[in-house]
Structure 1
């Protein structure tokens, strides 16, 4: 009886040891673990994440991402709704979330023509303010916001979407009132407020030759005045058939050739048909709902899921190819349910543009990306 008991105990110990080894072997690797030696992998947080209301989404963020950006709560209309009034409640919680989870925190965005409060550009009578007044408002806004998070926010999208597809300056209120100097002033003020923070220019459709030339002019303009610019953010609101991989390949090489780092920002991949020929990411664009433009409202087919996965893999293979020049890849949202693409540019559609589905499950592409990096092809980690 004693021998039998001893044998039983020994077998139990052996079984536990084998189970422990197997568990260790199949331990799931996260995106951030796999990509750690390549580039930061980030995501945009909404208020449900920031305040812990979406606990399942928060779990994904903590597990898979090491960089975060605020989707909306740091934009000027939210953080600075009136001239003498700031609202830092949401932004403060966003920063705290990042610090508590050792994230690389990105501030988005300081100067943008969209989602800016109306008061910023007008006087008490509703007329455009003078150049000097708008410059002073810019300076106060940037110094206040960047100064509040000095040493905590690691990098700022200083200016967002200032160039058109054809390379011309966007005729925003900042441009028409101040002139192209507003960009230099914005970078100057941001650097004054936090000399150690990285400073970025961020825009969409950066694969367009005209926009590339415009951004090149912008970077040279900043450098002529010895102003800091660390990276260009290439917004990646893409679809199944745009842009081409060769366009992206050339664009990444073009910007890295200008001596700045490249960041793939706002990455999402729409599977829905485009209502117009050339897709950008102008939030002001809107089209009427048509059922023909919403073909997957009841779910995806296997064939379209396979196309989606392969398209994402093609992009990540390209990012890995350029890993020496790319410092960050950031998804614009956590799950498909969070994505702005469900309502843009046609409200009420059902899109599937992110790496995690509406049930908070990782899509097959997540595992495929991890496996691809773990293959460690020659030269990948050099």
Structure 2
């Protein structure tokens, strides 16, 4: 009996990293700093992925629906709402002790086709567009009143240079479609937090434009609680000093900062690629998919160091950051396997294709402990 005890103690001394990983999850390590979570797909929120549930319970305390709460899936036909998948997502969050975040109410991509046109296929009037926006928002937000912590109200409305994206919402309604959306969401649930969410947020032009937007919304009497910095990063982008400057700038606007769609692309990008606009699509070429048999050791180490640098920034800015959300759980489920080049094998997350934690998970835990 004494011999077995000695061996156990010796193993614990020899493997302190293993012991900490066994005892402490990411959510435990960052507790008191911010929430940490992941976007989950419909199969996962339907409870059909036991490995995902196991990782979520241990490491994360908040989740976002990857797709099932977007307008095209919730209201595929006018006045015909389908809440089945979204209801299961919220139920899953409550069952597993996760804080659910709603994503997203108004976004030009993945909107239903009918949203912007009349029966003849022509663009609807400003009045009709506003009414459709308000009805969609009030119906969706009202259904989950008191069950959702916060909503990405408007997603990706500003270009990288700071100009407004010429989306159908902008072209039909004008730039005040954002104000209209935020007011409609607040009316539907006065207690829910409301966010603006966008990519390339480290770029100076977009940073300044988002700050102007936050000020404008506040001046108009809108509730806006946070700015989501989509962080679809790479091994060498964005510039981390610009990234930190944006965290400081958004926090100075008097809102919470959230890292909302975090992943790190390790693959070479096609010429002309940039940002995270989903409409980008490049032809498959083998040179853009070099690691089909696994990530080489040197590249895995670069990924590890990049995540350590990012989480060091989050630690130093923890007074300004309220939530970090990885865009997926496992490399096997990442959208970066199919975007912007379909059919690639990417390795952008903290857990590998078998849901095993990568070494950087323990690095992050020890950093915050």
TM-score, with structure 1 as normaliser: 0.92
Which residue is equivalent to 2:316?
321
CA distance in structure 1 between the aligned counterparts of 2:31 and 2:64, rounded to whole angstroms: 18
Match of 1:140 among 135, 148, 151: 135
Match of 2:296 among 289, 296, 301: 301
CA distance in structure 2 between the aligned counterparts of 1:341 and 1:116, rounded to whole angstroms: 21
Match of 1:44 among 32, 39, 43: 39
For 1:15-50, what per-residue CA distance to the aligned partner results, in whole angstroms no more than 9, with x for missing partners? 679969998x93421000111111100100101111
1:176 aligns with 2:171: yes
CA distance in structure 2 between the aligned counterparts of 1:74 and 1:204, rounded to whole angstroms: 19
CA distance in structure 2 between the aligned counterparts of 1:97 and 1:22, rounded to whole angstroms: 37
Does the CA-based 8 Å contact 2:204-2:242 persist in structure 1?
A: no
Q: Secondary structure at the match of 2:230?
A: strand
CA distance in structure 2 between the aligned counterparts of 1:124 and 1:278, rounded to whole angstroms: 36
Which residue is equivalent to 1:249?
244
Match of 2:68 among 57, 66, 73: 73
1:205 aligns with 2:192: no
Does the CA-based 8 Å contact 2:211-2:249 persist in structure 1?
A: no
Equivalent residues in 2 for 1:260-299, closer than 5 Å: 260-276=255-271, 279-299=274-294
Does the CA-based 8 Å contact 2:273-2:280 persist in structure 1?
A: no
Task: Using the TM superposition, give the Cα deviation of residue 102 of structure 1 relative to its aligned residue in structure 2, in angstroms.
Answer: 2.1
CA distance in structure 1 between the aligned counterparts of 2:271 and 2:257, rounded to whole angstroms: 28
Which residue is equivalent to 2:349?
354
Range that drifts further, 319-328 or 267-276: 267-276
Equivalent residues in 2 for 1:101-250, closer than 5 Å: 101-250=96-245
CA distance in structure 2 between the aligned counterparts of 1:119 and 1:339, rounded to whole angstroms: 29
Highest CA radius of gyration, 1 or 2? 1
Which residue is equivalent to 1:3?
none
Q: Secondary structure at the match of 2:304?
A: helix
Q: Is the alpha carbon distance of 1:21 and 1:152 closer, same or farther for their aligned partners in structure 2, counting shifts above 3 Å?
A: farther
Q: Secondary structure at the match of 1:157?
A: strand
CA distance in structure 2 between the aligned counterparts of 1:70 and 1:327, rounded to whole angstroms: 18
CA distance in structure 1 between the aligned counterparts of 2:90 and 2:281, rounded to whole angstroms: 32
Which residue is equivalent to 1:373?
368
For 1:143-196, what per-residue CA distance to the aligned partner results, in whole angstroms no more than 9, with x for missing partners? 000000000000000000000011111111101000011100000000000000
CA distance in structure 2 between the aligned counterparts of 1:367 and 1:19, rounded to whole angstroms: 21
Residue segments in structure 2 that go unaligned for 5+ positions in a row: none
Which residue is equivalent to 2:339?
344
Which residue is equivalent to 2:253?
258
CA RMSD in angstroms, aligned pairs only:
1.9
Does the CA-based 8 Å contact 2:46-2:88 persist in structure 1?
A: yes
For 1:305-325, what per-residue CA distance to the aligned partner results, in whole angstroms no more than 9, with x for missing partners? 101100000000001000000
Match of 2:94 among 73, 95, 99: 99
CA distance in structure 1 between the aligned counterparts of 2:299 and 2:8, rounded to whole angstroms: 38
Range that drifts further, 174-183 or 49-58: 49-58
Q: Secondary structure at the match of 2:23?
A: coil
TM-score, with structure 2 as normaliser: 0.95
Which residue is equivalent to 2:30?
35
For 1:66-122, what per-residue CA distance to the aligned partner results, in whole angstroms no more than 9, with x for missing partners? 010000000000011000200000000000011112222100000000000010110
CA distance in structure 2 between the aligned counterparts of 1:281 and 1:154, rounded to whole angstroms: 25
Does the CA-based 8 Å contact 2:47-2:92 persist in structure 1?
A: no
